[in-house]
Chains A and B, each alone.
Chain A
Amino acid sequence: MSFVEYGDTIKDGDTAIVFLGHESMFPVKVQHGTVTQTKYGVIRHSTDLIGKKYGSKVTCSKGGWVFILHPTPELWTMNLPHRTQILYSTDISIITMMLELKPGSIVCESGTGSGSLSHALIRTVAPTGHLYTVEFHQQRAEKAREEFREHGVEHLVTVTNQDVCKNGFGVSNIADAVFLDIPSPWEAIGHAKSALKAEGGRICSFSPCIEQVQRTCLAMEECGFTEINTLEILLRVYNVRTISLQIPDLGKAAEDNSSTGFDSSNPSNQGSPCTNLQQGAVQFKSSVPLKEMVGHTGYLTFATKS
């Protein structure tokens, strides 16, 4: 397994995703002799995991079962240990497309944070591209390096521990794209420009506050960036449910059964608990939005270096 290549069977040292059921999963480091506790019981790595195919069902000691999934950057984003607020796949998707990233691209990123976006970028630029990521917090930088090693992608990424606003990305004139997710991105625009290749490089800045966006757009304009464009993207998820709506009792005329005009002869259910006669229900499949949805992550500002 690797975050940039699919493998078929689970091996010692792999990072695998244990899937328990609806939106419930966690990552696990596969190791001979280790056991993992789940609410369905124990999973013994040596017998239950190593050598099995990814996508297999594993029965735990208490009888319940789980699925073992091959890691992807998207699954990693949903399950990684948060050291900072992270970017989710919705934003990551549009960033990847708007920065025109593809195999072979050279990308610069700051800050590395918890590595959510980093993993996705590495996946996209592999096998011939490279990610230069800058993180000013020393422990986070070190943890990121460790994770990239464990996930088999260290050859595709360079983590630098410095302040991008003061010292830039550590490279010049080679990047196809630059991504900024820092408190004061306008201070790094100049450095971003010098890291980017001579013509046609793309830049993206992610900021939660509109005031930050305004300052950043101004800085971009002053630095000669063109095609400056700000947008935001939000995800709406639906649950698929069979809904049953009762037909109201509008009373009954003396002999007439169907005075309502509503076709209540629709598939009504056998065990209607309603005590009144002649009350059925109509069933239908519906896509029900979640009770609460993410209302804002941040504004994304893109531009081109001319």
Chain B
Amino acid sequence: RKIIFEKQWFYLDNAIGHIYGTTFEVTSGGNLQLKKDVEESTTETKEAGTDNRNIVDDGRSQKLTHDDIKALKDKGIKGQEIVQQLIENSATFRDKTEFAQDKYIKKKKKKYEAVITIVKPSTRILSTMYYAREPGKINHLRYDTLAQMLTLGNIRAGNKMIVMETCAGLVLGAVMERMGGYGSIIQMYPGGGPVRAATSCFGFPKGFFDNLHEFPLSKMDSLLSGTFSTEALPLEPENSTLLEEESNGLTDEKQTSLQETEQESSHEAAMEINQTEEPETMDINAEDVEFKENKVKENKENVREKQRKQWERRKKLIETAALLREKNADGLIVASKFHPTPLLLSLLEFVAPSRPFVVYCQYKEPLLECYTKLRERGGVVNLKLSETWLRNYQVLPDRSHPKLTMSGGGGYLLSGITVLLDKVKADASNLEALKMEEPSSKRCKVQDVNC
């Protein structure tokens, strides 16, 4: 398969069998070749200048033209050679300071040396990748914010977690990685089915998915109010509208997951793509009666297969509903494009007392409302609204400083711990709410009840 990534294209075939972390060079044929460690000539005393007072940037320092460089590339000359040529043909190179020379070489190498390293996927790699390349898909959840969620939520092996996310399955994958296949997860999803495009990029063993359940948000209300039907569907053919609904939901899911995976970067070595295709419609020779008969049989089988699958799905739904009804989840993680308040107020019902919960929102204001509503509801302590500030550094001898660009915002978190909800006294909970507030000495003098 041809992989296209950042204007490079290559085949992954030669990579199979090598260990993760191996670095390859892309040859002119698009094949991967092991990169040999070239000793950098650091011991040579380089000719260099002291500052840039005499260097004029007129765009004419490089003698090689675009065409010259292209010709070199077409000849199949290695990237290293091209960089060498560029250095030799640069009129100002030897006037640059050593630092500037280093920077120049690094920049040219990045552009002309086609070197790729294949790494094993992990939360660290996938979350930084998604944030850099597709932040829109993950509601601009920055990787350090995700890290906070996993820790604040005490995500670990053996928990029974409820996860509600619309981050392409990245958050789900991160939770699954930290649970190591132990415990269970119930993923709440909007629409027809959960999106798990990113989850498949982690390369989890199949066993990890045995205890992963899902439940539609659209059935939440009925579950909470007790009107969710626990009857299993009979094995007889149900009304066709239900069938269509289900299959439509499935195709949507397939489509989105296919689209998602197409846009994935080629860094992942273990990517499982669901390539289920639509049942092919064959052109039938009308005179072939036997063939027609077989087709009819096939249709009947298809229908039965669909019904069986539907019955399976219904069965799973009831099982998951039962798991939720136990109301003993060990934690709740919410990271979605929806307003968090209704999600939190309903999903907290399923969490046991003295368990942490974390809600992510790209914006602060919805979390303010969430905070207020939670105070009114009671049953939560240690509420905290926070964000993290992340800064990367360049550390080089005599050249250490924070990097030039910084992420402006990585989203906000609201976290807390559940406690037993004291439903008996209503005014007691208000008192509690006031008690949980910091006694602010600069409280506004005006009466405000809803503080």
Query: Which residues of A pack against B, CB within 8 Å?
Result: 4-6, 8, 19, 21-23, 53-57, 67-70, 72-74, 89-90, 92-94, 96-98, 100, 102-104, 120, 123-124, 126-128, 199-200, 210, 213-214, 217-218, 228-244, 269-273, 281, 283, 285-287, 299, 301, 304, 306
Contact = CB atoms under 8 A, between A and B. Distances in A.
B446 A236 contact: no
Given A96-B147, A218-B397, A69 B354 contact: yes
Contacts of B447: 269-271
A304 B387 CA distance: 28
A233 B386 CA distance: 13
B437 A100 contact: no
A210 B392 CA distance: 13
Given A214-B397, A304-B21, A233 B450 contact: no
Given A19-B381, A22-B437, A56-B420, A238 B386 contact: yes
A229 B390 CA distance: 13
B151 A100 contact: no
Interface of B: 19-21, 120, 122-124, 127, 143-144, 146-148, 150-152, 154, 156-159, 177-182, 330, 352-356, 364, 367-369, 371-372, 381-382, 384-397, 400, 417-420, 422, 435-438, 440, 444-448, 450-451
A90 B391 contact: no
A280 to B, nearest CB: 10
Given A229-B392, A273-B446, A287-B364, A199 B21 contact: yes
B382 A234 contact: no
Contact of A67 (B146, B147, B178, B381): B381
Given A57-B420, A89-B151, A241-B440, 14 more contacts: A19-B417, A53-B354, A89-B148, A97-B127, A97-B144, A97-B150, A98-B124, A98-B147, A100-B122, A126-B158, A127-B182, A237-B384, A239-B385, A244-B448
Nearest to A245: B444
Given A21-B435, A69-B354, A299 B148 contact: no
Contacts of B386: 235-238
A96 B123 CA distance: 10
A74 B357 CA distance: 13
Interface centre among B147, B157, B178, B367 (most CB of A within 10 A): B157
A22 B451 CA distance: 14
A5 B182 CA distance: 12
A22 B418 CA distance: 14
Contact of B152 (A93, A100, A103, A234): A93
Contacts, number: 203
The 10 closest A-B pairs by CB, nearest first: A55-B353, A103-B180, A55-B354, A93-B151, A54-B354, A97-B147, A230-B393, A93-B147, A103-B157, A244-B444
Contact of B391 (A200, A232, A283): A232
A214 B369 CA distance: 45
A103 B156 contact: yes
B157 A127 contact: yes
Given A124-B156, A306-B21, A236 B400 contact: no
B369 A55 contact: no
B432 to A, nearest CB: 8
A123 B418 CA distance: 20
B382 A19 contact: yes
B148 A200 contact: no
A232 B393 contact: yes
B395 A69 contact: no
B393 A231 contact: yes
A106 to B, nearest CB: 14
A74 B180 CA distance: 20
Given A89-B151, A238-B385, A56 B353 contact: yes
A70 to B, nearest CB: 4
Contacts of B356: 72, 74
